[in-house]
Amino acid sequence: MTEDVFATADPETLKGNAIKQLEEITEDFTNNKIDSVGLYMSARNIWGNINRNPVLREKIDEALKLQRLAVRQVAVIDISKGDPIRKRYDPDEWLKSIPPELMNKKNVYFQDKVKSLLNLFRSIS
C-alpha cells in the first residue's frame, strides 16, 4: 500500500502550493492557455488534494462553519439538498449548479468559482 502524500504533507506547504496553482491556472485561463474545462479540472484536482489532508480539511470545515453562521444571521439556509456553502467551493458540485443565465457563459461562471476557491484557501490559517 502506498502512502498518500497529500494526507501526510505539511499543511502550510500544501496550502501554499494550492494557492500558487490556482493563481497559475487563473492566469493561464485569462491568457487563453487553457479553456474552461482545463480550469475546472485543475480546480477539481486541487480541491481533492487539499481535502485529503486532515489538517487542511478541518480548517476548511471551520471556515465554512463561520460562513454558515454569518449567512444564518441574515437568511435561512435550506440544507435539505446538501450544504449550499460547501457546494459553492466544491468543484464536484459546480456542474450541477450552473445558473440558467450563465449556461452560455460557463467561462465567467468557472472563473468566479475558482476565484472563490482561491479566496477560501487564502483565508484559512
Please say if the pLDDT value at position 25 is more than 80.
yes
State the average pLDDT over residues 51-67.
94
Query: Cα torsion at 91, 93, 94, 95 (round to 10°)?
Result: 120
Q: How confident is the model at residue 15 (pLDDT cuts 50, 70, 90)?
A: very high
Query: Whole-model pTM?
Result: 0.87
Please say if the pLDDT value at position 1 is more than 70.
no
83 vs 59, 64, 68, 87, CA distance in Å? 17, 10, 9, 6
The interaxial angle of helices 106-123 and 36-51, nearest 10 deg, is 30
- Structurally, the chain folds into a number of domains equal to 1
Q: How confident is the model at residue 97 (pLDDT cuts 50, 70, 90)?
A: confident
Q: How confident is the model at residue 3 (pLDDT cuts 50, 70, 90)?
A: low
The residue type of 62 is E
99: containing domain:
5-123
